[in-house]
């Protein structure tokens, strides 16, 4: 283990400051094979993401996958890349700024920064920057409503690695999940209703969550159960029966069994059964990204239409929707409880109050 980094000397009497670290999964720097190779090497090297014997996996990753997959993935990213960059990075940056604004309107004097578990800005570098700005308390908010060892726990791992190299640690808190948070569910329901009001109600609503290997459920990961609960609560908010919606899992990788039912085969099946109009929402993604814009809005759409379906609607993620941002602000505010984040009176006002209190005390 390397020794802690050299840090700026501690300044006695410094006012405590609170920061929010909003963490999302990550994105390559550009839609190019070289950028994808760097990104995938970091992402797929995480033992939280791929839980097979390390030596075997490293041989497969560097000997096969990183020779083939970057070029294919780059083509997919190119389909959704914007003039501002990766959609995930654009939305996550905007969400962090909006969150700071909302908390500021509620009187909280906090700094909100975003970081990516893989790629830039890195979690460690962002925590270094927050400490340099004087942050003495940091609330870590992963952008994952449902807890998984491959996502939420991996964020905690990365914060811990940074902590091992840091001498003067800030107080740290972590939000593990908010899959059943009432405001989050209400925001999703509002998003769906608004889409239906503009585009019509479908015959079936498919709620597609990111997949995980099936063995993670047997190993104790709560992700599958939390996805099902999110789906059930959202259906209840929308007044749907069990025949009106279905929870599925996308983004399967490799040949092992993953959580079922899989999204694209389900879309084929319901099209063959005569469902003509389907809408798909991805409640586990806080912001639109490759997995929603390319895998669902493009590939899954083609799958459904080619299987005999007539109309496919993709319902965007919450992104910067006001209800979704308020839900994040509510969640953050609850987890800040006990930390004095309210705007403090200025020094002159405090000095005046003290003088008046002393004068009052002298009279008695």
**Contact 80/63 with Cβ under 8 angstroms?**
no
Burial class of residue 107 (count of CB atoms within 10 Å of its CB; 0-12, 13-18, 19+)? exposed
Degrees to nearest 5, angle at CA 197 with 194 and 198: 90
105 annotated as a binding-site residue:
no
Question: How far is it, in rounded angstroms, from Cα 317 to Cα 336?
Answer: 26
179 annotated as a binding-site residue:
no
Retrieve residue 252's tokens: 């399967």
How far CA 9 is from CA of 5, 75, 162, in Å, comes to 12, 48, 18
- Three-class SS string for 223-268? HHHHHHHHHHHHHHHHCCCCCCEEEEEECCCCCCCECCCEHHHHHH
Question: How far is it, in rounded angstroms, from Cα 135 to Cα 109?
Answer: 11
Retrieve residue 320's tokens: 């910067």
Q: Which among 125, 103, 96, 116 has a CA at the least distance from the CA of 335?
A: 103
Place of tokens 């097979």: 52
Binding residues: 210, 291
Binding residues for Fe(2+): 210, 291
């Amino acid at each position: 283990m390397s020794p802690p980094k050299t840090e700026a000397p501690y300044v006695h009497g410094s006012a405590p400051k609170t920061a929010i670290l909003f963490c999302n999964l990550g994105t390559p720097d550009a839609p190019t094979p070289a950028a994808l190779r760097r990104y995938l090497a970091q992402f797929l090297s995480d033992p939280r993401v791929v839980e097979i014997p390390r030596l075997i996996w490293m041989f497969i990753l560097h000997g096969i996958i990183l020779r083939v997959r970057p070029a294919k993935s780059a083509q997919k990213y190119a389909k959704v890349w914007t003039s501002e960059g990766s959609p995930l990075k654009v939305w996550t940056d905007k969400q962090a700024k909006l969150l700071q604004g909302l908390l500021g309107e509620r009187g909280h004097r906090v700094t909100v920064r975003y970081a990516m578990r893989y790629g830039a800005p890195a979690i460690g570098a962002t925590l270094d920057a927050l400490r340099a700005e004087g942050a003495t308390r940091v609330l870590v908010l992963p952008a994952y409503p449902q807890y998984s060892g491959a996502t939420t726990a991996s964020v905690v791992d990365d914060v811990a690695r940074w902590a091992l190299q840091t001498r003067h640690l800030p107080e740290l808190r972590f939000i593990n999940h908010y899959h059943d948070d009432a405001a989050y569910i209400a925001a999703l329901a509002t998003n769906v209703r608004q889409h239906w009001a503009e585009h019509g109600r479908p015959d079936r609503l498919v709620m597609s969550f990111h997949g995980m290997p099936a063995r993670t459920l047997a190993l104790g990961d709560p992700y599958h159960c939390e996805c099902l609960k999110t789906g059930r609560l959202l259906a209840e908010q929308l007044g749907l029966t069990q025949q009106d919606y279905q929870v599925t899992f996308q983004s399967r990788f490799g040949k092992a069994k993953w959580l079922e039912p899989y999204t694209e085969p389900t879309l084929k099946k319901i099209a063959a059964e005569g469902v003509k109009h389907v809408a798909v929402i991805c409640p586990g993604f806080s912001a639109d990204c490759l997995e929603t814009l390319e895998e669902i809005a493009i590939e899954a759409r083609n799958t459904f239409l080619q299987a005999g379906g007539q109309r496919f609607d993709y319902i965007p993620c919450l992104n910067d929707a006001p209800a979704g941002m308020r839900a994040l602000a509510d969640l953050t505010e609850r987890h800040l409880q006990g930390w004095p984040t309210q705007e403090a009176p200025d020094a002159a006002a405090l000095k005046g109050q003290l003088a008046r209190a002393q004068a009052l005390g002298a009279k008695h």
